[in-house]
Amino acid sequence: MDKKSLKNDDLVLTGQYLGVVEEFLPDKQSTFVKDGQIYATKSGFIDIDNEKRKIEIKTHQEKDRKTVKIGDIVIGPILFLRQYSVGTNFYTINQKIHFNSSYFGNIHVSQISDRFIEKIQDAFQITDIIRARVISLNYNEFNLSTSRNDLGVIYADCVICGTPLDKIGYNKLRCERCGNTETRKMANDYRNVSEPLRF
């Protein structure tokens, strides 16, 4: 028996021995068990859930997952403002375009910034594009945070005339077209986003 223990992302082939049931909880789709020994039913990459000890084989496409987990970084537009929160959906998850996003995120006023935010409108407006971190799942909504420096608004238009706003201070922006000034909780790369978006 091959005693070499498998690690996450190891490539395995169909039929390959993966371990024993005392060691792993075998995934029903991608593995099969014979006499207490686990084998791969497809070729792909090892994925071991360290908490549950679940072992699974994933293909490249599956590893480029389009599901959301705690700690993921998402980008999306502000859809609406409530009194104590804003709603957003996700254009990208971990820099990968999410074409048919049905996910919905919620940012509570207490999770917007390390600094005190008196009212939501001081931090976000509808149509702003924001970058946020997933901090918890609450039923079907993800709770997000933008309190880190690299999180917050990355693109915003003037609420009066629609021109992209220029950053003129820590939380201040100005419209060069109409002179309107606004405030936002900006990410430190506001309008200077360099992250590659993978298709």
- Interface characters, 99-138, with Zn ion (x: CB under 5 A): ----------------------------------------
What residue type is assigned to position 75 of the chain?
A: I
Part in contact with Zn ion (CB under 5 A); list of ranges 3-11, 18-26, 77-85, 179-187? 179-187
Q: Among residues 135, 119, 132, which one has the least CA distance to residue 184?
A: 119
Collapsing DSSP to helix, strand or coil, 189 comes out as coil
Cα angle 51, 15, 5; round to 5:
40
Part in contact with Zn ion (CB under 5 A); list of ranges 18-26, 69-77, 131-139, 160-168? 160-168
Return the structure tokens found at 56. Answer: 């699974």
Residue 85's Cβ-count burial label (10 Å; 0-12, 13-18, 19+) is buried
156 interacts with Zn ion by CB under 5 A: no
Part in contact with Zn ion (CB under 5 A); list of ranges 111-119, 146-154, 174-182, 184-192? 174-182
Q: Among residues 194, 68, 92, 55, which one has the least CA distance to residue 141?
A: 68
178 interacts with Zn ion by CB under 5 A: yes
Our CB check for Zn ion shows the closer of 94 and 180 to be: 180
Among 137, 161, 168, 193, binds Zn ion (CB under 5 A): 161
We find the least distance from the C-beta atom of residue 153 to Zn ion, in angstroms, to be: 16
| CA pair distance 97, 83, nearest whole angstrom | 30
* Residues at the interface with Zn ion (CB under 5 A): 158, 160-161, 163, 175, 177-178, 180
